[in-house]
Amino acid sequence: MDDTARELRVIGIEECLSEAMTIPGALDAILVDHTSGMAVAAEGVPYPEGSAAGLSEAFRATLDGLALSTPDGTIRIEDVIITTDRAYHLIKPMETMFDGPLLICLRLDPDRANLALALRRLQAISHRLIAS
Amino acid sequence: MATATLDSMLAGLAQDRATGSLKIGRAGTIFLTRGRVSYAECTGTPGVEELLTASGRISVGAVRKARQTATGESGPQSGGDLLVDAGVLTRGELEFCVLGATLDASYFLLGPALAAAADAGGARPAPKPRFRDGERHWLGTHWFFDVPGLFQECRRRKAQLDRAWPSSELDTRPVIPVRRIPGRHVVLTALQWEVLLGADTTATPAELAHRLGRPAYSTLLAVRELGAAGLLATGADHADQATPARPALPKRAERSGPRAELRPGPGADPAQPYLPQVSADPTDVKLLIRLRDALEALQ
């Protein structure tokens, strides 16, 4: 399959995670249902339930904090990028049509990862998983 | 087989790697595929059809057509595959929709079983589940939960509800937003906004979920969060209205009518000691005016 066809094909949850893991520098990936804080699926995450709850909380805190600091009070997050001394953390919300959002969370090795490339790839993957 | 409870029956079916449907009285049905739960529906929660059509992305007709084609003998394809092939939703959306609807229904179907187990033999009359071997849901199989994992998730959700607001008093009564918020501003999630907008003072959380096309659990969680934030009328408010909380005020002359420049200020409400409460009650306004008049007379 050539690259164009791959860019257009819709994917499922499992495939979304395995594709995220092919992003250069990816350490682990997890898909989280933000409303319930549940781990939907994970790859390379030792304790998915704890990670899902923590990432969900981090995203909620970011939303609440930014909503208060934004002039118009509404907020729509495209990506959350957190750099720590050991890793890059990317959290990308995907709006679903019935509940949600669904968060795709990726942890990257800062020595091997290219943040801009990772963001672009994550964006492409999210559009193929959720069309809206 | 009088002791066959829902959880023991599900555990048995999981062990036998059974495929079929388990009907739990009128409450709903759990579908299993080779011993794992692949779908669940509950009368109290919106199903996949409702979730899909409420979003506006898919018409009722398209869902009905996929259902008829899938349940007919003609096609080997499942209803879910038909919808994905028709391009109305992606594979990921279908999986997430099935997963969400299944968890939502399971929470309400398995909840009583979990509560009974916690009671340690608290005998509560539950309908005897009936298993139909080989029966499948028209959507097909798109996501799996193993049975212990599903019970675990239901327990986690129960704990999450209790963390948001530890009382179940708001769960089944009509959602009534307070007329004025107990503070100066408020941050809402998208679903909390929809709940407040949909609340017509008669609809319960479950009815709102159906109306909004949102999962019943998510709606319940939003209601409890709103309750915790003091944005919904609670039993305490109703009780206040029933008992004479306000001491009867002595009658006073007519001249102390409301004045345009006077705004109702924060009053001391013993039910809510932390946050100033705003009242537009004319009795309160009159009292304030009389207080002001008295203070002015002292000068």
Q: What's the rounded Cα separation, in Å, for the pair B159 and A114?
A: 39
Contacts of B116 (CB under 8 A, 6+ apart): B5, B122, B124, B126
Q: Do B96 and A130 lie within an 8 Å CB cutoff?
A: yes
Residues of chain A above pLDDT 70, percent: 92
A86 to chain B, closest Cα gap in Å: 30
Interatomic CA distance for residues A50 and A91, integer angstroms: 16
* DSSP conformational letter for B262: P
Assess whether the previous peptide bond of B247 is cis (omega < 30° from 0): no
The stretch B164-174 carries a mean pLDDT of: 90
Does the beta-carbon distance from B187 to A68 stay under 8 Å?
yes
Chain A residues closer than 8 Å to B96 by CB: 13, 40, 96, 100, 102, 130
Q: Are residue B15 and residue B147 in the same domain, yes or no?
A: yes
Question: What is the predicted pLDDT for the residue at B281?
Answer: 65
pLDDT at B282: 64
- State the pLDDT at residue A78: 93
Contacting residues of A for B215, CB less than 8 Å apart: 35, 98-99
CB atoms B92 and A98 under 8 Å? no
Tell whether B96 is within 8 A of chain A (Cβ).
yes
Distance between CA atoms of residues B26 and B108, nearest Å:
13
Question: Please, where are the H alpha helices in A11-47?
Answer: 13-20
Same domain? For B72 and B11 the reply is: yes
Mutate to test the interface with B, among A64, A76, A97 (most CBs of B within 10 A): A97
Residue B213 carries which DSSP code? T
Q: What is the count of structural domains for chain B?
A: 3
Is residue B198 a contact partner of residue B211, using CB atoms and an 8 Å limit?
Answer: yes
**H or E element at residue A106:** strand A102-108
Residues of chain A contacting B99 with CB distance shorter than 8 Å: 13, 40
Tokens 């395995």, residue located = A18
pLDDT of residue B20: 93
Out of A37, A96, A128, the one facing B160 most closely (by C-beta) is A37
One domain, residues B21 and B87 = yes
CB contact under 8 A, B160 and A36: yes
In a shared domain, residues B42 and B138: yes
CA distance, residue B157 to nearest chain A CA (Å) = 7
Which of A36, A49, A96 has its CB closest to that of B93? A96
- Please give the residue of chain B at the shortest CA–CA distance from A75: B189
Residue B162 pLDDT > 80: yes
The reply to whether B128 and B183 lie within a common domain is: no
Largest CA distance in chain B: 93
Summarize pLDDT for B173-184 with one digit per residue, the tens: 999 999 988 888
Partner-chain contact A16 B92, CB within 8 Å: yes
Query: Domain range holding B151?
Result: 6-159
pLDDT at A113: 95
Domain membership flag for residue B37: yes
Mean pLDDT, rounded, for A44-58: 94
pLDDT at B234: 82
**Residue predicted with more confidence, A2 or A21:** A21
Amino acid at B261: E
Asked if residues A129 and B90 have their Cβ atoms less than 8 Å apart, the reply is: yes
B137 domain residue, yes or no: yes
Give whole-number Cα distances, B56 to A98, B61, B72, B81, B89, in Å. 10, 12, 26, 20, 12
Distance between CA atoms of residues A60 and A64, nearest Å: 6
Same structural domain, B155 and B16: yes
Distance in angstroms (rounded) separating the CA atoms of residues B74 and A113: 50
B57 chain-A contacts, CB cut-off 8 A:
97, 132
- B153 close contact with A: CB closer than 8 A: yes
Residue A83 has pLDDT above 70, yes or no: yes
Arithmetic mean of pLDDT, A111-129: 94
Residue B59 in contact with partner chain A when CB distance is under 8 A: no
pLDDT score, position A42: 94
- Asked whether residue B150 falls in the same domain as residue B184, the answer is no
* Residues in Cβ contact with A121 at an 8 Å cutoff, skipping those fewer than 6 apart: A20, A23
pLDDT band for position B79 (50/70/90)?
Answer: confident
CB B35 within 8 A of CB B13: yes
Domains along chain A with CATH numbers: 3-129 (3.30.450.30)
Residues of A near B (CB-CB distance < 8 A)?
10-13, 15-16, 33, 35-38, 40, 49, 63-64, 67-68, 73, 96-100, 102, 128-132
What's the gap in Å between the CA of B271 and the closest CA on chain A? 27
Inter-chain Cβ pairs, chain A and chain B, closer than 8 A: 85
pLDDT confidence of residue B15: 92
Look at residue B189 in the predicted model and tell me its pLDDT.
87
* Cα–Cα distance list, B158 to B110, B178, B219, B220 (Å): 11, 26, 14, 11
Evaluate whether ipTM surpasses 0.95: no
The pLDDT assigned to B238 comes to: 55
Q: Which residues of A touch B143 (CB under 8 A)?
A: 13
Residue of chain B whose Cα is closest to the Cα of A73: B187
Tokens for B184, please give them. 């100066």
Does one domain contain both B12 and B135?
yes
In this structure, are B189 and B62 located in the same domain? no
Q: Is residue B1 part of a domain?
A: no
Nearest CA among B62, B72, B61, B10 for reference residue B35: B10
For residue B13, pLDDT over 80 is answered with yes
Inter-chain residue contact B92 with A12, CB threshold 8 Å: yes
Residue B38 lies in a domain: yes
Q: What mean pLDDT do residues B100-114 have?
A: 89
- pLDDT of B276 > 50? The answer is no
The verdict on B139 and B267 lying in the same domain is no
- Residue B122 shares a structural domain with residue B211: no
Q: Looking at residue A6, what is its pLDDT?
A: 52
Q: Which positions in chain A touch B191 (Cβ < 8 Å)?
A: 35
With CA atoms as reference, the chain B residue closest to A14 would be B92
One domain, residues B88 and B191: no
Q: What's the mean pLDDT in A86-112?
A: 92
pLDDT of residue B138: 87
Which range among A6-10, A42-46, B173-177 shows the weakest confidence by mean pLDDT?
A: A6-10
Quote the pLDDT of residue B241: 45
Q: In sequence order, what are the residues at sequence separation of 6 or more whose Cβ sits closer than 8 angstroms to the Cβ of residue B166?
A: none
Least confident range from B123-132, B142-151, B257-266: namely B257-266
